[in-house]
Chain A
Amino acid sequence: MHRIHILIAMDSHTLAQGARAVKDALLKDLSLAGLSDEVKVVETGSLGIYKKGVVLVVFPDNIYYTGVTVENVAEIVSEHIVKGRIVEKLKYSKAPGTEVKVQEKAPRFGKQLRVVLRNAGIIDPESIEEYIAHNGYEALGVALTEKKPNDILEQVKASDLQGRGGAFFPTGVKWGFAAREKAEQKYIICNADEGEPGTFKDRLILEGDPHAIIEGMALAGYAVGASKGFIYIRGEYHMSIARINRSIEQARENGLLGEKIFDTDFSFDIEVREGAGAYICGEETALIESIEGKRGEPRDKPPFPPSEGLWGKPTIVNNVETLANIPQIILNGPEWLQKLGTEASPGTKVFTLVGNINNPGLIEVPMGITLREIIYDIGEGIPQGNGFLLAQLGGTTGGILTAEQLDLPLDTDNLRKIGAGLGSGALLVVDDTHNVVEVVKNFVEFFNHESCGKCTLCREGTGRLYELLDKLVSGQGVLKDVDLIERLAKTMMTGAFCGLGQAAPVPILGCLKYFRQEFEKMVNTEQKSVSAVV
């Protein structure tokens, strides 16, 4: 039995900061101190603390250390581990009054509430035993041995869980469409092709708790009658890919994937497919095309994937975060989820907090939280005392929120009213030292690069929007250009082929709505009378 556990976050961020070397130094120093038998060092996924260097947690003291280097490992060992004195200069101090506590079912992390991230940073993600020890695969066991597929479907429906990929479509309803299809083969696809700039929640979920995704997919397969799953992961997510592959192997070895799981008639297995970096492949039908070996481009809908998806078969495409919710819903019941969040949007949401913010990182909060709480409490405010200009919520296609909306409770209903959405979970904070038009130009540059090029409005439209914004920024724009930007953006919103082209104009129109005068200020006054024909 170990007296102390030291958890060390081994995610892509901390690895880049030297986590591996820190762990080696830790093991060496513990061994020199003769503590190897008393102290266990555990590799975990992300602890949700970002841009703070290497992160450790010492249990049972619940002390978080950030910015740990090889040089100060010896001090942690000699002071904290040996003498029980906390190394104050490395201790991670949250905003005053908050305490870090890890609770059984919904651990809180300040104003955070951890459902999806319940295991991230707590368990060793490479150990199926640790996942099982934290009630892992219990939901699947209960489902397969005690419940009918339809019971699982009804539970997910009753929970009113909404898709966390960004569209917030009711997951249970989607499953229902596939469940009622009569087909020999159906598929479950986990969409882990996280491509939104500033979004990395799915990566950290996969790195921190890969078995939860496998369990979620197996439950989905059971509910709709699918025996085969694919996880489509962004190719750059090396660690996610390695961990999920390892977890799939472990699940197979333990009879949790494969033939006749839990000695029932239910068989389910999963294959990993790596994306090659195209943003559009996060769109579900483009993702399906890509798995089929074709060029990643969206398909016309209808038919929708639950009736005709991968290789023409009924297919459920769910986001990583959505699937991570499933085992908990089955274990705790649909009412449990509804008690979290708001009536319109039950549950929690994982955000990646980026931009001009003191404490960026991965957070999980209940629905209904305000922007002010996220930015100023959890995020510890804006650096250098700068003012808040705008926030973009939900990735590059996300809506624009200004100071007016700082106290708006964030849920799907409230956001829809102002033409925004929660989207993929990136929250970009922009301070008032930035020029709005340049910020918008930056968004558009991304779409210009990532449009698949299939439909005229998106392909040519994103290119022209970029050209017109660039013209404004470089002082060559005329007043009519601002109108043309608006006209083009509005046309794309209702006329483009897929979600990419329809959503790309959202931040532009949002900025035009709140900051039109900033655009007009950029106009070259000497050319104001000139025609907008560029």
Chain B
Amino acid sequence: MANINLTIDGIPVSVPQGTTVLEAAEKVNIKIPRLCYHPDLPPVSACRLCVVDIKGDRLLRTACSWKCQDGMEVSTRTPHVRDARKMALELLLSRHPMLCTECVRNGSCELQEIANQFGIREISFKYNERKGDKDYSSAAVVRDPSKCILCRRCVQTCELVQSVSAIGMEGRGYDVWVDTPFNEGLNDIACVACGQCIDRCPVGALYENSHINQVWVALDDPKKHVIVQTAPAVRVAIGEEFGMPPGGLVTNQMVAALRRIGFDKVFDTDFTADLTIMEEGHELLGRIKEGGTLPLLTSCSPGWVNFIEHFYPSLLPHVSSCKSPQQMFGALAKTYYAEKEGINPEDIYVVSIMPCTAKKQEAGRSEMSSSGYQDVDAVLTTREAAVMMKQVGIELPQLDDDEYDEPLGISTGAGVIFGATGGVMEAALRTVYEVVTEKKLENVDIKVVRGIQGIREAEIDLNGTKVKAAVAHGLANARELMDKIVKGEADYHFIEIMACPGGCLGGGGQPIPTSEEIRKKRAEAIYKADKGLSMRKSHENPAVLQLYKEFLGEPNSHKAHELLHTHYKGKEIYKHKVA
């Protein structure tokens, strides 16, 4: 189809049909201010900051939603436009508490940035508080409605990206607010703790339940042996917190920074990711062989586990009994590692650095204490880890490389790709293929399961047995697959599900902002990390093999089950409320 020609502030621009004015303006380097628009979400045209003047139109139009038309003459800077935008901004600012210095988003707040761009020095209206109490009920996500600017990105994310709808608009008019069903705490409703809302909040109305202080207390306690594990996706994103462009792979600088913070050992969740493949791969083969419940659903993503417990309890027998890599690590740290190093497990303090907020909630689940203690003591998001580094003056991009400690820091490329959607599937297939066929997999890059499409399918021939696999990321896509299973229309053997778009690299604990473009760059870095490693199959990880030899026996052994596997239960959280 022919391009559309228009002018924006007199500058000619040619765009394909369907392009919005906002997108067209960006092509000619005009950045139109916006607060409710987010590239991951359909426009809601609520904030009114992106209004533009279109010749011949009495009304101002929102650039985020207005489609370009041939011959259109757009002005983004007339007095009319500037006044309207400033009025909208002042109206928002006058309901915002302006506690910038004590806000988690100080320096990364979009409202603050736009106020600065507009040169706001005085606000025409007095401050009127927005109602709503802070909600600390969730182990993962804190809500502070007083800071909310009602852009609805969180609501849209929860509804459209995740199909969870844990939050929505309540009331109307001047006192409209974002709330949960029945005005309950996030912990008491069907929130999956994924934290995607945080990633899209332009201000500090949503943030993680911080564990920074308790980690410092442990680090400052000489009796404690504090060890840290880093999730696969953290290494491809934490650089962004230090101003590096998205897609920077900083694994070894991150290790150096963590050592400087004072952790006694720096380990890698990739190690237990490899272990997960051993356990889950054998579980899959067992189910195929013994006619167990299929398809097998992965269980590494705690947001996803919450989702299925909330919304599809009848499908729980499909979920792999494997704990997530974070929890396998915690269980082994306080058993295998403690024994090996001769440290009293009571004195071991396990910290995880995760791209995830749901991991905070997962660590606190009562089942997650098979070592006899809470297996993982504290969970920091990527953002919190960066804050801790900054608190002690660490400039991560400047540091020299350092190496993970042994043995729980040894891993393969199969472990690192856990951080991207499709990664668990690819890692599992690399191992399962060789275990079943007893042939060497020549090309380990199983690209068919990679990518950004919401649901992807693949079929692999294992010595005559065709294994049908599917991958979904983002819970709205997961819901689609679950509905297929419920209807009996899913003939897959194995399904990988990640709660967050892009997988863990797009997790709710990752640096803000996020977008498809940023997630793609992080994914490139993940696959680069995988390619750069000499070992790329989990079953080749020598530390994992040694663990089985010294401690667990074999995959799915009794001891493995005791420490590395778990069970689930349906939550049915609204049952008593609507009864």
Contacts from A to B (Cβ < 8 Å): 278, 280, 295, 297, 300, 302, 447-457, 459-464, 466-467, 484, 487-488, 491, 494-497, 502, 532-534
Contact = CB atoms under 8 A, between A and B. Distances in A.
B322 to A, nearest CB: 39
Contact of B48 (A457, A464, A484): A457
A463 B126 CA distance: 12
B173 interface: yes
A453 B169 contact: yes
B84 A456 contact: no
Contact of A453 (B48, B58, B59, B172): B172
Contacts of B58: 494
B87 A487 contact: yes
Contacts of B95: 460
A interface secondary structure, majority: helix
B158 to A, nearest CB: 14
9 contacts: A300-B44, A453-B171, A460-B92, A464-B94, A495-B59, A532-B124, A533-B122, A533-B124, A533-B125
A456 B173 contact: no
Given A453-B150, A453-B174, A488-B87, A494 B59 contact: yes
B43 A300 contact: yes
Interface size class on chain B is 35 or more
B173 A449 contact: yes
B539 to A, nearest CB: 50
Interface in B34-78: 43-49, 51, 58-60, 62, 65, 67
Contact of A534 (B43, B125, B171, B174): B125
Interface string B146-182: 0000100000000000000000110111111000000
A459 B176 contact: yes
A497 B124 contact: no
B35 to A, nearest CB: 9
Given A454-B44, A491-B84, A491-B88, 6 more contacts: A453-B172, A454-B46, A459-B174, A459-B176, A494-B84, A497-B45
Contacts of B125: 464, 467, 533-534
A495 B173 contact: no
B486 interface: no
A466 B173 CA distance: 12
Contacts of A451: 172-174
Nearest to A498: B45
A460 B174 contact: yes
A467 B94 CA distance: 13
Which 8 A/B pairs are nearest by Cβ-Cβ distance?
Answer: A453-B176, A463-B174, A460-B91, A495-B84, A451-B173, A491-B87, A534-B126, A456-B88
B83 interface: yes
Contacts of B122: 533
A200 B91 CA distance: 35
Interface string B167-204: 01101111110000000000000000000000000000
A497 to B, nearest CB: 6
Nearest to B49: A456
Contacts of B343: none
Contact of B46 (A280, A448, A456, A467): A456
Contacts of A452: 172-173, 176
B49 to A, nearest CB: 8
B91 A456 contact: yes
Nearest to B42: A300
Contacts of A457: 48, 84, 87-88, 91
A497 B46 contact: yes
Contact of B124 (A453, A484, A502): A484
Contacts of B59: 494-495, 502
B484 interface: no
B504 to A, nearest CB: 32
Contacts of B88: 456-457, 491, 495
B80 interface: yes
Interface string B549-572: 000000000000000000000000
Nearest to B151: A456
A455 B46 contact: yes
B123 interface: yes
B182 to A, nearest CB: 16
A198 to B, nearest CB: 20
Contacts of A466: 174
Nearest to B81: A495
Contacts of A494: 58-60, 80, 84
B107 to A, nearest CB: 24
A153 B124 CA distance: 52
B101 to A, nearest CB: 22
A448 B45 contact: no
Nearest to B91: A460
Nearest to A454: B46
Nearest to B45: A300
A409 B47 CA distance: 40
